Amino acid sequence: MQLTRRHALLAATALVAAPMPARAADVPLPPDAKALGATVEAQGKAPKPLRLAVLSFQGSSFWEAADKGIVAAKAYLAPLGSTVDYIQLGTALTAEAVVAGIDGALAKQYDGIAVVPIFDGTVAKVNEAVAAGVPVIAFIADSAQKSNRTVAVGQQAYQAGASAGAFIIKQLDGHGKIAVITGYLGAAQHKARMDGALDLIRKQAPGIAIVGPFESKDDDAVAYSQATDAMTSNPDLKIIYVTAGGSQAAAKAVRDAGATGRVGVVGYDDLPEKQTYLQGGEILALVDQAPGRQTFDSLVMLHNILAFDAKYPSDIPVAAPIAYGKFAKR
């Protein structure tokens, strides 16, 4: 039958008048997600099955805390039509590991990817995924060079470093010596945390001497050794500032050296296993970044983006509260 102009108008009117399919009510967060501080609820069940890949690192208690968000999101999203697969990138943080992980996810045709990009060498691969129509959410540590990632969730690293720097200045009354242990010198977030603190210290408290930085590669054994060496070589050392993994190891080094109350650690991530050092006084302060919340929220956002075309800001900052230790000046 030939479609006349009248038929076409009637068809268009019917399409406009037809109600859009109703979206189900947001699905309340389960207790385990609430315990992680999760904030994003699923907008309902996906109209078709979705496959989500989450790419993260292993090898420390921090990544284990991030894993809890993955486990919670996997259970939460399964009855809502989204399958979550965890692609482990290993213990060494490198751009090559991230690129290989994204390549594998693209080859297996996942609908969405959540990943820790961290290095500028990952930008081209992230852009390739987005250009292929696969939304990518960067969590915990984005690259310094901005990619076309759909959303970035994470702590504002330079500002968090500045908060740590302000605490160090107050703790030392503007005078003393600190040692700096970072994770990877080429990791954007680690560098930003270091720069945020040291820029503020150099500007506001030139009486504070800085030793390092030392690169631990997020290895607890290396961080322990570096903290021990720093205290041995600098008897007047007051604070060890750890910008990435290793704050617990540095705190153990302080305790083992009998330097509790004389040397303190300022670091990141308020995790359960660090409480003994907060309460004992070896850790002065921890700037938290809620890794479990970040993984959970990222995966639920991917579900909502793919299933309901949800829109989110391109950058979502995560608060950086400070947990204080026994000898902290507040």
Report the pLDDT averaged over residues 271-290: 94
Q: Is 328 within a domain?
A: no
Same domain, 125 and 103: yes
In a domain, 8, yes or no: no
Domain extent, residue 161, equals 157-290
Alpha-carbon dihedral of residues 227, 229, 230, 234, nearest 10 degrees?
140
167 CB-contact burial (10 Å; exposed 0-12 / middle 13-18 / buried 19+): buried
User: Does one domain contain both 221 and 309?
Assistant: no
What is the per-residue pLDDT across 69-87, written as a single tens digit (0 to 9) for each? 999 999 999 999 999 999 9
Rounded to the nearest integer, the mean pLDDT of the chain is 91
* The predicted structure's pLDDT at residue 15: 30
Residues 172 and 149 in one domain: no
Confidence (pTM)? 0.79
265 and 299 assigned to the same domain:
no
Residue 108 lies in a domain: yes
Q: What one-character-per-residue DSSP string does 187-227 give?
A: -HHHHHHHHHHHHHHHHH-TTEEEEEEEE-TT-HHHHHHHH
**Residue 52 pLDDT:** 98
Can you give the CATH number for the domain in which 41 is found?
3.40.50.2300
Average pLDDT over residues 101-106: 97
Q: Is residue 151 part of a domain?
A: yes
pLDDT at res. 4: 38
Total domain count, the chain: 2
pLDDT tens-digit series, residues 257-274: 999 999 999 999 998 889
Residue partners of 250: CB distance under 8 A and separation at least 6 = 181, 223, 224, 226, 227, 240, 242, 265, 267
In a shared domain, residues 58 and 128: yes
